[in-house]
Amino acid sequence: MNPVVLSLAFSAAILASLLVKFWLATRQMRHVAAHRAAVPTAYVGLITLPAHQKAADYTLAKLRLGIVDDAFGSAVLIAWTLLGGLGWLNEHVRDLVLPNAGALAYQLALIGAFALVGWVVELPFSLYSTFRLEERFGFNKITPSLYIADTLKSFALGVVIGTPLLSLIRWVMQAAGGLWWLWAWGALTAFQLGAMVVYPMLIAPLFNKFEPLTDEAVISRVQALMARCGFRAKGFFVMDGSRRSAHSNAYFTGFGAGKRVVFYDTLLERLSGDELEAVLAHELGHFAHRHLVKRIVVSLTFTLAGFALLGWLATQPGFYLGLGVTPNLMAPDNALALLLFMMATPPFMYFVSPLMAAFSRRAEYEADAYARSKASASDLVRALLKLYEDNASTVTPDPVFVKFYYSHPPASARIAALGLADTNLVGAPA
């Protein structure tokens, strides 16, 4: 691989993705600002003017922060790669750790040091987003002490989970010879599938409290819905989402008959019984259509292709040199290759994201259609609009921005697809 060609292609991808991001963000900002003055006719009576304007202001504030973050992120990426940041870090960590603690410790230390620097560099954005932006719109409920506790727990988890996983992958990289990438992919896949089973039971409770739902009326309603849809659930839980944020949600976790339904406390407060039922019917629609399984298959296919590419790139000196790093002569390059690969792919993969978003939006339409067949479409629409309001999501996004990024179709498209475009929802019983 020619290092100069790689440097140029990488720079071009960073620049192109940044330009497209800016272009899309300004489109969205213009569109939202232009519709800020009045509630669109389709939503009169469903959304209040203050709520509509709050959504516009929140969307604009997030886009502005996003533009700064994107520009900064690209600068950091260039500093790590083309300007030699990772090469510098590698030399120091290698000279410090390798002679004293060996090859495995060196590679773990390199990845750890990289993650730590990355966390510090992004910290101002995270703090500003949580304690300024989310706070300003009344969403942030997290206290500084809880923020610190969350951070420490995440660090500890990263070490406890990351160390054995990286050791395993590194061992596979050395033991399996030329096809190591296939084995490493298998190990990562097994780990990810295991994590999906373990996460709701062991990890989520570290961050939130899950209490059994006690509202009998809601339970019997949800059980009736699930029976109608041919599902069984093992338990119904309420999660204290309000501890951190006023954003609301509901989800299913687990597999087969072990499914658990988790409601954010914020959601139970906001929705009526009918609306809750419609939202859950939508979530069950995702299960009925096996969207999760399909997403896992797609993601595993992408990872496999990624690992195959990494397997080849790791042996190419031009891959390191083109991204500003001198490969190690006397030490293994695996950790270095992994980090470079993780940084080099996103600018290229950015242009694949509209495909993934379209895939996801199609799944949302299918889940909506399922909800319509098992519950009431107008209840679903009312619930959606409440959630839009609670999350200050704009109902007037730019269509091109939607195509590129939205994992969920905009409200107007979902309402139209539910066949309610011309129905006056205002007069319908609540």
Q: Where on the chain is the footprint of Zn ion (CB under 5 A)?
A: 364, 367
Considering the complex, what minimum distance in angstroms separates the CB of residue 289 from Zn ion? 10
- Quote the distance between the C-alpha of residue 229 and its chain's center: 28
Half-sphere exposure of 93 (CA within 13 A, CB side): 24
25 or 371, CB closer to Zn ion?
A: 371
Pairing of strands 235-239, 250-253: unpaired
Q: Estimate the share of the chain in helix, then strand, then coil, as percent rounded to the nearest 5.
A: 75, 5, 20
Q: Between 271 and 313, whose beta carbon lies closer to Zn ion?
A: 271
Residue 139 beta carbon to Zn ion: minimum distance, rounded to whole angstroms: 21
CA distance 134 to 142: 10
DSSP 3-state assignment of 236?
strand
Nearer to Zn ion, 106 or 388 (CB): 388
Shortest Cβ distance from residue 282 to Zn ion (Å)? 6
Query: What is the phi/psi pair of residue 47, to 5°?
Result: -125, 135
Rounded least distance, CB 218 to Zn ion, Å: 20
Tokens at residue 191, please? 């780990």
Closer of 364 and 389 to Zn ion (Cβ): 364
CB of 344 to Zn ion, least distance (A): 32
75 vs 356, which CB is nearer to Zn ion?
Answer: 356
d(CA 361, CA 410): 9
Residue 39 vs 371, nearer CB to Zn ion: 371
Smallest distance, Zn ion to C-beta of residue 367, A: 5
Closest separation in Å from C-beta 130 to Zn ion:
25
Of the pair 304, 356, the CB lying nearest Zn ion is at: 356
Q: Give the whole-angstrom CA distance, residue 165 versus residue 192.
A: 10
DSSP 324-338: T-PPPSSS--HHHHH
**Can you say whether the dihedral through the CA atoms of 131, 136, 137, 141 is positive or negative?**
positive
Helix H or strand E encompassing 262: strand 260-264
